[in-house]
Structure 1
Amino acid sequence: TDSVMLFAEQALEAMRSIPGTLQQSLSVENGMPEMAVSIDRDKMSALGLTLDNVGLTMQLYFQGNSTLKFTEGNYEYAMNIRADKAYRQQAEDVQNLTFVNNKGESVRLAQFATVALGTGPNKLERYKRNSAVTIRTQVIGVPSGTVSDQFLEKIATLNKPKGVRVEPTGDVQSMADSMSVLTGALLLSLLLIYLTMVLLYNNWVDPFVVMFSIPLSVIGAFLALALTNTAMSIYGMLGLVMLIGLVAKNAILLVDFANDALKEGKTIDEALIQAVKIRTRPILMTALSTIIGMLPVALSTGSGAELRNGLAWVIIGGMAVSTLLTLVVVPVVYKLMHGKTTRKMQAQTEIERMMYE
């Protein structure tokens, strides 16, 4: 226990050195006076006593038995019988505590245990069935995840006692759980969008071309977070989910127009050039309106602004990069996926024309 409390105090000092943390404290304070009883189990067994018998007797001696009731007339009074306070203060008095063994004989505590005064934690705290000490702090102006990462880096340099582990709890654990749920929601939304487009396009190729624009937005989102020194948060994950629909729309405009041009008899190169030429303006207008609309949120200050800023920068970075790359990458992927099929269709059309001639 002493080694754990020493490590907890060192970890508390590490927390205090992290910028943005205030009112750091431990859930358990050391230095409270206590009376420690060290039992020799071999001597105890030889004297005809069991650990249950000794523990129950000491519990009655110090805490008493509150289950007793005293009834007088129509009134019932709760009773708690235990040793008088004067006989619970000194180690010598506790050593004279007597127990009755299996032979009905009286045995003093001093015959099989030692009693010493010392100090210890003011309470016993448990986490996942283990003794625990919680370090609490308020975080201002810095994401909780950033503080958690810095804290884990600092305590990794400390001499951690054997059998002791460090786990995040509170807001940090809640945020980690929420991020995990949102990650699952993000993957599920990708799957549903792809399957929906498969039904609408009636093929597997065009939805793949459209979905190829989504990784481009993720690159832009994380690039924006890195450039602005903003940590990924729950709001940032929500921004990624929003980006899926925003950037997929731009790719759909190009793919639809190229498909219509192919049906009109144009070559794949002509269809893609015309699609980019005609659809670039509406795509840029949509992207710019979204980016400009999110700038006030990205540049806002005040309480909780760092969370809102993350969402805005994710959308701004994702839209900016994906819009520019979509106009280049999506046509390339479209030609790679449709080139072979288009050549076959054109060859078939040429053969049919020659047969009719």
Structure 2
Amino acid sequence: VEEIQDALRTQIEGQRAGIVIEGNRRTPIVLRGTEAVRTSPAEFGAMRITTQHGSTVPLTSVAKLERAEGPVKIDREMGSRYSVVIANVGGRDLVGFVEEAKALVTQKLPLPTGYRITWGGQFENQQRAAARLTVVVPVALGLIFVLLFSTFGSVRQALLILSNIPFALVGGIVALWLTGEYLSVPASVGFIALLGIAVLNGVVLVSYFNQLQSEGMKLSEVVVQGAKRRLRPVLMTAAITAFGLIPLLFATGPGSEIQRPLAIVVIGGLITATALTLMLLPILYLRFAFPKREVSHV
């Protein structure tokens, strides 16, 4: 069988026999059967095969030839054959579609022994990204808290600034729901960007509150005057960021499916984070920024 396979491979695919060198030009020498052998069934069957005893016999004397349809190529992964089924998901979230497809396949397509199904493509990439985010987000929050604590020297004030993060998340989630988008990897990246923006607004307010208090102003006046005076900087920061993302929000070309969810999340989060920061953070600062003894003393 091995001799037959080698002969057929030489006749059909060709076998490299050497190289001809002409100056700087190198031309490979390939042994291959004639065009008639590769296209004519009769010529192919009459092809002479050398046996292990050294004699030559026609291919039809050692093999039965018949025409049959077969795969153009056979794909393998880790030594096993595999076949790919491709589907494009539209009008719904990718994860929900895959979970529903898994349930239907398990119910209606029992697999024989030795067979398995792997869900890959964009779904696999999204699952990998989600797994990374479960590590990256807590680490980012921890680093932000450490930086805030080292800056303000107060656990209470660091936690107050971090309380802005839920304000931003609310807007991002509502924006996704209103636009019909789904929580994808780009949307998750948008939520991570919101962490920094929300913290920035809190730092602007709390640092100014502390400055006013150090000047001897009463705490009740600090939150009122501080919120009024920092209104314009906070609004300008949010507006500039939102305007910069508008081209991504209305993008329609290649890559827009990645740009749009990110822009939607950030713009929606900016709206709620800015509004709630200006309204609720002064109240929280008045109530929780200092221990009760210090508040009564102030």
Shift in alpha-carbon separation, 1:200–1:232, aligned structure 2, 3 A:
same
Alignment-derived partner of residue 23 in structure 2: none
RMSD across aligned positions (CA): 5.0
| Alpha carbons of structure 1 residues 58 and 321: separation in structure 2 relative to 1, 3 Å | farther
Letter in 1 for 2:268: G
Q: Any idea what SS the aligned residue of 1:63 has?
A: helix
Aligned partner of 2:180 among 229, 236, 239: 229
Q: Which residue of 1 aligns with 2:120?
A: 168
1:282 equivalent in alignment to 2:239: no
Q: Distance in 1 between matches of 2:51 and 2:32?
A: 17
Deviations 1:178-226 (A, max 9, x none): 5665665555443333322222213333222212211321221122011
- Cα distance in 1 for residues equivalent to 2:178 and 2:244: 17
- Where 2:117 maps in the other structure, the secondary structure is coil
Aligned residues: 281
- Cα separation, 1, equivalents of 2:287 and 2:51: 89
Query: What is residue 119 of structure 1 aligned with on the other side?
Result: 69
Query: What is the CA-CA distance between 1:59 and the residue it aligns to?
Result: 2.2
Residue 346 of structure 1, CA deviation: 6.3
Match of 2:145 among 194, 197, 214: 194
Q: Are 1:66 and 2:20 counterparts?
A: no
Provide the TM-score with structure 1 as the length reference. 0.57
Q: Describe the shift of the 1:63–1:311 C-alpha distance in structure 2 as closer, same or farther (beyond 3 A).
A: same
Matched, 1:150 2:102: no
1:205 maps to 156
Q: 2:163 is matched by which residue type in structure 1? A: F
Q: Report % sequence identity.
A: 19
Q: Given that residues 216 and 326 in structure 1 are in contact (C-alpha distance below 8 angstroms), is that contact kept between their aligned partners in structure 2? A: yes
* 1:213–1:326 CA contact under 8 A, matched in 2: yes
Distance 1:77 1:254 in 2: 75
- Residue pair 2:223, 2:286 contacting (<8 A) in 1 also: no
Distance 1:212 1:126 in 2: 52
Contact 2:209 2:222 in 1 (8 A): yes
Q: Structure 2: 5+ residue runs without aligned partners?
A: 21-25, 54-62
Structure 2: which amino acid aligns with 1:167?
W
What is the CA–CA distance in structure 1 between the aligned matches of 2:161 and 2:5, rounded to whole Å?
71
Unpaired runs of 5+ residues, structure 1, are 1-53, 102-112, 351-357
Q: Is 1:248 matched with 2:199?
A: yes
Question: Are the aligned partners of 2:187 and 2:261 in contact in 1 as well (CA < 8 Å)?
Answer: yes
Supply the distance in 2 between the matched residues of 1:315 and 1:129 (Cα, whole angstroms).
45
The normalised TM-score by structure 2 is 0.66
Shift of 1:165: 0.7
Kindly indicate whether the alpha-carbon contact (under 8 Å) linking 1:250 and 1:283 is maintained by their aligned counterparts in 2: no
Counterpart check, 1:315 vs 2:266: yes
Query: Does the C-alpha gap of structure 1 residues 273 and 147 become closer, same or farther in structure 2, counting only changes over 3 Å?
Result: closer
Could you tell me how far apart the structure 1 residues matched to 2:169 and 2:146 are? 21
Q: What is aligned with 1:27?
A: none
Which of 257, 261, 266 aligns to 2:208? It is: 257
Task: Give CA-to-partner distance per residue, 1:247-303, whole Å, 9 cap, x none.
Answer: 2122123322333454456665x1564256424632663366247625743652521
Report SS of the residue matched to 2:15.
strand
**In the alignment, is the contact (CA less than 8 A) between 1:253 and 1:279 conserved in 2?**
no
Deviation at 1:138, TM superposition (A): 7.5
Q: Which residue of 2 aligns with 1:293?
A: 243
Amino acid across the alignment from 1:218: L
Q: Secondary structure at the match of 2:182?
A: coil
Query: Residue 77 and residue 274 in structure 1: after superposition, are their counterparts in 2 closer, same or farther (change >3 A)?
Result: closer
Structure with greater strand percent: 1
The secondary structure found in structure 1 opposite 2:201 is helix
1:216–1:322: 8 Å Cα contact kept in structure 2?
yes
- Indicate the residue corresponding to 1:57 in structure 2: 3
Cα gap change, 1:335 to 1:77, in 2 (>3 Å) = closer
Q: Aligned in 2, Cα 1:266/1:217: closer, same or farther, shift over 3 Å?
A: same
Q: 1:177 to 1:293 in 2, by over 3 A?
A: same
